[in-house]
Amino acid sequence: MSTFWLIVVITTIAGVGGTGLGGLIGALFNRNSEKVVSLLLSFAGGVMLAVVCLDLMLDALQQSTEVWNVFLVIAMVIVGYGVIFLLNFWIDKATNHEVPHIDENHPKTADQLSELIHSDHYEVHKQDKTTRSLFIGGIVMALAIALHNVPEGMVIGASYAQDPGTGLELTSGLAMAIVIGLHNIPEGMSVSVPLIAGGMKKTRATVLTALSGAPTIVGAMLGYALGTLGSVSLAISLSFASGAMLYVVFGELLPESILNWRSKAPAFAMLVGLLVGVMIIFI
């Protein structure tokens, strides 16, 4: 299989598969799954942090021995971080991330996954006949997640441009696809839950949620194409991808993991993920 089609297949599994799995979990939502999701997110964050800091950024810095390359890498890391930050800011604002509280005694911040995706408010919303707003919020979230998945796909494509491999061996590109797929699970939940609460059938909501992961494929092709144009383009692509993933780790994976399970276990899971990432890179 050529590298192009390998990237398409793997990115489809990570983007469509990961988001679709989250949508399915959302349709069959069970609060007992929060601990498992927490450990998966922490583990993925550890692997991602190792691959970004010990592989992608180092390779970007090694594209040139000139001092300007260091500043180019730093600048593009900031750009990548900023793009994902702005996209998430827009998502939160567009979907009213923290819904109006039930009463004055209700906490003003989410403290668990069920509250983060508003499932604890649904009965109250239904009594107030606001299911349509939930449905619209789910649609907006699906569109926002679709846009959000483009730069995430670039990470996979840039990783394969740096280390194309010859198949399904555990390269940095495959490692990134795996952790992005895990990261997409709670995103898929945040899309399907409001759609279903707004009246959409579970099967249709799950399919629509899975489709919101399709732009990951477009991003992967863009990242791979940019990364194969030359050393400077590869440095830009890898640095942008690194910045994007650093925000995903520190702005999404770790906070979501803590919200799911306030325990020492997620920290241990992240350490395990970090060490696994080291093995992926150096073995």
Summarize pLDDT for 117-173 with one digit per residue, the tens: 444 454 454 444 455 555 666 677 777 778 878 888 888 888 888 777 656 666 778
Amino acid 147 reads L
CA–CA dist 6, 36 (Å, integer) = 29
Nearest to 29, CA basis, from 189, 230, 236: 189
The answer, yes or no, to whether residue 106 has pLDDT greater than 80, is no
Q: How confident is the model at residue 178 (pLDDT cuts 50, 70, 90)?
A: confident
Domain residue limits, the chain = 3-282
Tens of pLDDT, residue by residue over 264-283, are: 888 999 999 899 888 877 87
Nearest to 173, CA basis, from 49, 55, 16, 1: 55
Q: Is the pTM of this model over 0.75?
A: no
CA 228 vs CA 36, 65, 71, 173, 224: distances in Å: 38, 19, 21, 14, 6
